Amino acid sequence: MYAINHDGLLRIKILEKLPGNQIKIRSYNPGYEDEIISQDEITILGRVWWQSSILN
């Protein structure tokens, strides 16, 4: 999962690299369709990760 800037819209999405300098933008939410865009259309701001621990 990555934080991206897509034409001024800040998003958290799954990215898959495709041939021909293209990127597939996927969402964990099944209500959203996959998008295929040129790699030049987005700026990757960083990778998103989550950590959890139990505090007593």
Kindly report, residue by residue over 13-49, the tens digit of the pLDDT. Answer: 999 999 999 999 999 899 999 999 999 999 999 999 8
| Residue 37 maps to a domain | yes
The rounded radius of gyration (Å) of the Cα atoms in the chain is: 14
Structure tokens given for 12? 């958290």
pLDDT score for 52: 82
Residue 55 falls within a domain, yes or no?
no
Question: Does any domain span residue 40?
Answer: yes
User: What is the domain count for the chain?
Assistant: 1
Range of the domain at 32: 2-47
pLDDT the model gives residue 49: 87
Say how far residue 11 (Cα) sits from the centre of its chain: 7
